[in-house]
Amino acid sequence: MSPFIIAIILSAALLHAIWNAIVKTAADRTTTLGLVALGQVLPGLVMIIWLPLPSMQSAPYIMISTIVHFGYYYLLGRAYQHGDLSVVYPIARGIVPALVSLWAFILLGEVLSLRVWIGIGLITTGILLSNWGALRSGIGKTALLLSLGTGFFISIYSLVDGVGVRLSGNTLSYWAWGAFLHIFIAGFIGWRKRSTLSQLPLNIWFVGIAGGMVSIIAYGLVLYAKNFAPLGAVSALRETSVIFATLIGFILLKEGNWKRRLGAAVLMTIGIIIIGLNA
């Protein structure tokens, strides 16, 4: 893998951590998530105008992915109401490779190598280390469960999109329609928050929509990198975003226990890389 492609993937990881930090620091996280969804709809609309339609075989997968993304947004917003960025984000993103490997074993009969199981073990150890205080004292169990639920939904839409993209005949078109259909998520949240939307300051609108555009750019960078590097390696490097999220949580959000959380994020990242390179 060339240094340029590695830089592209690491940039995507950083951007993904940034938009999660935007949601975490928002006063109204539900509204902000709605604006993030809207920020994906706008460039998605432009792309579907110019790009050809994806194969009709992929249409059910695009719809299922949209529904699963709705659950993902809901759980993510709830998780950030109960836990720090540097706890929620590493768990939600860190368990995804392990879950995807599990789905592949159950649904496709793929046998995991010893190295992959070692990677899963490192991720599990990192999760326990990151939440050791919560597990020992009982504080933060809600955040832990919501984070795990968020990771579960991520693994489902990752699996759905993995199959859907292969059937689409055009990766960019599949990506564009997936982004545009966030309009249902943005519309639902907008309807629920309709009484307060007119009172939102312009800077909140800007930050939320910008967060959505950051999110779709991050995904686009990963998509570009997948044209030039093995998918497993790209996915593994993509999840180094847990390190960026931990650093943002410590440096900008002043979240405590940084040594333990950074150590946990490193363990999870090593596990993710092992899974990505050996699965």
Confidence band, pLDDT 50/70/90 cuts, at residue 44 = very high
Which one is predicted more confidently, 99 or 176? 176
Which one is predicted more confidently, 232 or 54? 54
Which one is predicted more confidently, 85 or 71? 71
pLDDT, tens digit (0-9, with 9 covering 90-100), for 1-19: 677 877 887 888 888 778 7
DSSP string, 201-230: -HHHHHHHHHHHHHHHHHHHHHHHHTTTS-
Average of per-residue pLDDT values in the chain? 79
DSSP string, 237-274: HHTTHHHHHHHHHHHTS--S-HHHHHHHHHHHHHHHHH
Taking only Cα atoms into account, the Rg of the chain, rounded to an integer number of angstroms, comes to 18
Query: Which residue type, as a one-letter code, is found at position 220?
Result: G
Contact yes or no for 231/162 (Cβ under 8 A): no
Total-model pTM: 0.78
